[in-house]
Structure 1
Amino acid sequence: MHGYSHQHDHHHHLGQAEVLDLDAVVHRARLDDIVELVAAALHRPPRTIVDIGSGTGTGTVALARRFVDAELIAVDNDPRMLERVRNAAAEAGAATRIRTMEADLDDRWPDVGDVDLIWAALSLHHIADPDRLFRSARSALTSGGLLAAVEMDGLPRFLPDDIGLGRPGLESRCHALASGNGWNEHPNWTEYLHRAGFEVLEERRVDIDLDPAPDGTVEYATLMLERMRTGIGDRLDPDDRATLDRLLDPGDPAALRHRRDLSVRGSRTVWTARPTPSPTMEGSER
């Protein structure tokens, strides 16, 4: 999975790229499941696929694995992310089928030509004018083409409610504060899609409950909780802050790296939509 990058700070880029890559490692099986949902909604195998807000390219590569005859275009506004896409494509043996395009989707729709499948995973909530983007996407799709959008329903959970230190419910309290800061906030895209001239074929919640925790979970959980510590740590009460610091201290016996009770829990919503038949769509922007 991936995200559209608005900020260009070097440290932000590194942290975001690591989160996206670890998210892909941990959720690879679920990502492949979501791609299968999309494949089932297609009228025909796609020839051209555009990944909107490709991030580090995990979705692009997953799509390339599934649709072996398709050409793919990864679009992002961060050239460093696109370099990671190219590296991931080469590692996957798909470099000849995946090309990258630097574009600011808040400015205008990229010049990608006609498209059979538009994929937007964990990226739409960064777009300033999603109505305009959806209209543009509709205009770019071929007859019978498909748009697939994926959003995280909430931040992933890794810990049991009672972790054996501090007050139970630490992760829930952290998530409540993070939500108050607008982290990962997004609307239900169904109404937006309808307004743009799409028929929503399905809005499906995909539950995630990975126990035992897959490879990469410790690193993923550590990075996510470090970002919480930075973002909301000053708003936690002193006891919660101290507990979080212990979880993140690699020298502490209670640290995440030493725990055997980690899992990965959460859910994602997948929208599949097809343009409704109509002569033209007024106001489309390309």
Structure 2
Amino acid sequence: MHDHQGFDDAAATWDDDADHERRQVAVAQAIQESMALTPRMSALDVGGGTGRLSILLSDLVGSVVVTDPSAGMVRVARERIEAAGLSDRLQAVQADLTADRLDGTYDVVWSCMALHHVQDLEGLLRSVAKLLGRGGQLAIADLDEDRDGAFHADKVDFDGHHGFDRRRLAEQLADAGFADVRFVDATTILKGDREFGVFLCTAAKAA
């Protein structure tokens, strides 16, 4: 992932944006409807930012480790987790899963609007597959393909993906060791006068 500084600087006020909150709630709802989560499950949040999605889903699983490459985001996530009284079950760690090794295995991995910042997508998907236990589940929410790059047009140094073609992402997931890949429409983001689609993709670690 890149531009940690930009996310470090934005972390403190990130959750004040009503659109961010609406998006996280919509994605949490879509995950809840698409997966059978149980209190026995351990979850991993990839690029979890301030931890908002994991806090919203925390009652449905046993524990969550929120990861983010940005120190600022992780700091805010720790504060939010503590304020929510969830420190016994949720923790936030600074990690970039394309490069850093995490210990343990998880039952479910979720991610919201993080993948389009990851240049080495194949590497990330492979490392996530390794972190999932047998029958582990994956849920990714991100932008539908934005061919003209309009969503990030205001960020001159953006060097990630302009959304994702669903069929291509399904192929990349299969290559990384996932099966049963499904997509649903999760929400939309209004930016300027355009609406951008956000999908939820679910998959299971192949046997």
Taking structure 1 as the reference length, the TM-score comes to: 0.59
What is residue 185 of structure 1 aligned with on the other side? Answer: 162
Other structure's SS at 1:178 match: coil
Note if 1:127 corresponds to 2:104.
no
What is residue 27 of structure 1 aligned with on the other side? Answer: 23
Cα distance in 1 for partners of 2:151, 2:138 equals 31
Change (3 A) 1:180 1:96: closer
State the 1:46 CA deviation: 4.8
State the 1:34 CA deviation: 1.8
Other structure's SS at 1:190 match: helix
Specify which of 131, 138, 145 is matched with residue 136 of structure 2. 145
State the 1:179 CA deviation: 8.7
Gaps of 5+ in 1: 156-172, 210-220, 226-261, 278-286
Change (3 A) 1:94 1:203: same
Q: How does 1:208-227 map to 2 (within 5 A)?
A: 208=188
1:178 maps to amino acid: A
1:186 maps to amino acid: G
Other structure's SS at 2:153 match: helix
What is residue 64 of structure 2 aligned with on the other side? Answer: 72
Cα distance in 1 for partners of 2:129, 2:136 equals 9
State the 1:178 CA deviation: 2.0
Change (3 A) 1:141 1:18: same
Note if 1:56 corresponds to 2:50.
yes
1:122 maps to amino acid: M
What is residue 205 of structure 1 aligned with on the other side? Answer: 185
State the 1:17 CA deviation: 5.5
State the 1:140 CA deviation: 1.6
Aligned length: 200
State the 1:106 CA deviation: 2.9
> Does the 8 Å contact 1:193/1:200 carry over to 2?
no
Taking structure 2 as the reference length, the TM-score comes to: 0.79
1:202 maps to amino acid: R
> Does the 8 Å contact 1:31/1:62 carry over to 2?
no
What is residue 199 of structure 2 aligned with on the other side? Answer: 269
Change (3 A) 1:177 1:114: closer
Aligned Cα root-mean-square deviation (Å): 3.3
What is residue 37 of structure 1 aligned with on the other side? Answer: 33
Q: Which has the higher strand share?
A: 2
Q: Which has the higher contact order (CA 8 A, sep 6+)?
A: 1
State the 1:194 CA deviation: 0.8
